[in-house]
Amino acid sequence: MKYLADIGSYFIMLRQVFSRPTKTSVLRELILKEIDELVIDSLGIVIFISFFVGGVVAIQTALNIDNPLIPDYLVGFATRQSIVLEFAPTFMSIIMAGKMGSFITSSIGSMRVTEQIDALEVMGINPLNYLVFPKIIALLLYPFVIAISMFLGILGGWVAGVYGGFSTSDAFIQGLQEDFIPFHIIYAFIKTFVFAFILATVPSWQGFYMKGGALEVGKASTNSFVWTSVLIILSNYIITTLLLS
Amino acid sequence: MIVVEDLHKSFGEEEILKGISTVFEKGKTNLIIGQSGSGKTVFLKCLLGLFQAEKGKIIYENKAIQEMDDDEKKDLRQQMGMVFQGGALFDSMTVQENVMFPLRMFSKKKKEEMLHRVNEVLTRVNLVNANEKYPSEISGGMQKRVAIARAIVNNPRYLFCDEPNSGLDPKTAILIDNLIQEITQEYNITTVINTHDMNSVMEIGEKIIFLQKGNLAWEGDHTQIFKTNNKDVTDFVYSSDLFKKIRDIQNLEN
């Protein structure tokens, strides 16, 4: 019963996010601030993780194929498929649920605890539109983050594969081009948009409706990570079934 | 002026407000006092429209809040200023940005005009050279001044304060009380203050209502409260040792 109430409150929140809009000039500034805090500030960790995970994927693939019948370009092929289809869109989003999601929940939760949200309401401002809508718009740029992750993941694989002596540059690049299906990129970006919406709204929902003090802000951040990750995994399964099966 | 008629509010089975009727007059500092759990905060939140009462009316000038549509409620809220217990200043904004916030949201003034108004109210609350500081960089008393400045920057008709001097030293608390009273008279607004501070009652209690277990147990002003025979009120007023000693001395003198 509690889960039903939670799901209900999430959808009620979504309805309010898109109603009673904030003044346009203020909204523009809020969106730019959210782009800076959510997108630009995430690039460092995305670049670091993508590059090294791409490298590890290439090394692991190379180490696990001893059969001479398997072509050399498989290292590049496996790296591309792993990074483009799953690592960059899905697993990077789960990492972002920890980084971005915790930040969103704790900042909105702290505003709840210190009555800043009540202050907005008393002033006649729709706090959900003011706080959550700019995050949703800012995260429309999230696919660019994932595109960077894809590029750097593959680059990391190439560097590790070639300079680690696991593959030649020509074989790796041939693998990247082998059986390339452009729809896979579209599929990856479709799910990235869905994950971006989840990343903006679920942590906001957890922060906005939390009750209690500082301890509860911490608990809400943990719950936010769990709910966001679960929803990303579930929606990943559904989108994959619908688009690729 | 705010008129409250037979206000009832419950949470589940528990009735918090049990039919409160009173009038808060314009140009006066109206105090709501009572013990913790007496329903003061719930009453204040009903006045602000943050809680919906099940029964009764809260009439702002001539219209009950319960009969207002969303646009009318929005207009009403723009005529309200609120000073929260902890200040509720926006952490990510400087003092100047905090005070300018209501103007940016609702007025069509140019930035220079807004800045002029912000400096005017900051000077009014005796806060200078703090424009570029963040709330975490100023003292509790200064935070309360910023909260008052933010509440009055848009020339509200109604000012609500939830325990405005809690957590402050007695001297600063009196300064804040006096500031609120001066602003109330100067701007001719209806001010409602939720407090359990007896110094505030003595200093600025032009009208006082005493809540007891969700009922309005007594109302009067700061001169009457020390003479009342209402036992609940006298128990509350003389709950501190200081006030007991003052009463004993007065009794001896008499």
In sequence order, the 6+-apart residues with CB closer than 8 A to the CB of A36 are: none
In this structure, are residues A224 and A101 in contact, taking their beta carbons and an 8 Å threshold? Answer: yes
pLDDT tens, residue by residue, B141-155: 889 889 989 988 888
- Give the model's confidence band at A50: pLDDT under 50 very low, under 70 low, under 90 confident, else very high: very high
Per-residue pLDDT band for A152 (boundaries 50, 70, 90) equals very high
Per CB-CB distance under 8 Å, the chain A contacts of B82 are: 119, 122-123
> What pLDDT is attached to residue A20?
84
How confident is the model at residue B108, as a pLDDT? 84
CB-based contact A139:A197 (threshold 8 Å): yes
Find the DSSP H helices in chain B: 40-48, 70-78, 95-106, 111-124, 140-152, 170-187, 198-204, 231-237, 241-253
B48 to A122: CB separation less than 8 angstroms, yes or no? yes
For the stretch A128-147, pLDDT in tens is 999 999 999 999 999 999 99
- Chain B positions touching A110 (Cβ under 8 A) are 91
Q: Can you list the residues of chain B whose pLDDT is less than 50?
A: none
Compare CB distances from B82 to A25, A119, A125 and report the shortest one's residue. Answer: A119
Return the closest-CA partner of residue B158 out of B49, B66, B81, B59: B81
Distance of CA A226 to the CA centre of its chain: 14
Which residues in chain A touch residue B88, judged by CB atoms under 8 angstroms apart?
114-116, 118-119
| pLDDT tens digits for range A61-73 | 998 887 777 888 8
CB contact under 8 A, A122 and B80: yes
Q: What is the pLDDT of residue A85?
A: 94
Q: How confident is the model at residue A184 (pLDDT cuts 50, 70, 90)?
A: very high
Residue A203: predicted pLDDT: 96
Chain B positions touching A124 (Cβ under 8 A) are 73-78, 106
In chain B, which residue's Cα lies nearest the Cα of A126?
Answer: B74
Cβ atoms < 10 Å from Cβ of A93: 28
Which residues of chain A have a Cβ shorter than 8 Å from any chain B Cβ? 20, 22-23, 25-26, 110-111, 114-116, 118-119, 121-125
- In terms of C-beta density within 10 A (0-12 exposed, 13-18 middle, 19 or more buried), how is residue B250 classed? exposed
Contact yes or no for A115 and B84 at CB 8 A: yes
pLDDT for res B50: 83
Residue of chain A whose alpha carbon sits nearest to that of B162: A115
At B137, the amino acid letter reads E
- The pLDDT tens digits of the residues spanning A29-48 come to 999 999 999 999 999 999 99
B128 touches chain A (CB under 8 A): no
pLDDT at B234: 81
Residue B192, SS3 per DSSP: strand
Q: For A30, name the nearest residue in chain B, comparing CA atoms only.
A: B92
Structure tokens at B222: 């700061």
User: What gap in Å lies between CA B131 and CA B114, rounded to an integer?
Assistant: 13
Query: Which tens digit of pLDDT belongs to each residue from A159-174?
Result: 999 999 888 999 999 9
Contact B105 A125 (CB under 8 A): yes
Q: Whole-model pTM?
A: 0.86
Q: What is the pLDDT of residue B179?
A: 83
Q: What is the mean pLDDT of residues A21-32?
A: 92
pLDDT of residue B231: 83
pLDDT of residue B205: 83
Global ipTM: 0.83
- DSSP labels for chain A? -HHHHHHHHHHHHHHHHTSSPPPHHHHHHHHHHHIIIIIGGGHHHHHHHHHHHHHHHHHHHHHT---TTS-TTHHHHHHHHIIIIIIIIIIHHHHHHHHHHHHHHHHHHHHHHTTHHHHHHHTT--HHHHHTHHHHHHGGGHHHHHHHHHHHHHHHHHHHHHHTTSS-HHHHHHHHHTT--HHHHHHHHHHHHHHHHHHHHHHHHHHHT--SSHHHHHHHHHHHHHHHHHHHHHHHHHHHHHHH-
Smallest Cβ–Cβ distance between A124 and the set B78, B90, B104 belongs to B78
Q: What percent of chain A shows pLDDT beyond 90?
A: 80
> What is the total residue count of chain B?
254
- B104 interface with A at CB cutoff 8 Å: yes
- DSSP letter string over B27-71? TSEEEEEE-TTSSHHHHHHHHHTSS--SEEEEEETTEEGGG--HH
In this complex, which of A26, A110, A124 lies closest to B104 when CB atoms are compared?
A26
Cβ of B13 under 8 Å from any chain A Cβ?
Answer: no
Q: Point out which residues pair with B159 in neighbouring strands.
A: B81, B191
Could you tell me which chain A residue has the CA closest to the CA of B160?
Answer: A122
Cβ–Cβ of B78/A121 closer than 8 Å? Answer: no
Output the average pLDDT for chain A: 93
Taking Cα atoms as reference points, which of B212, B196, B215 lies closest to residue B9?
Answer: B215
Å between A104 CA and nearest CA of chain B: 14
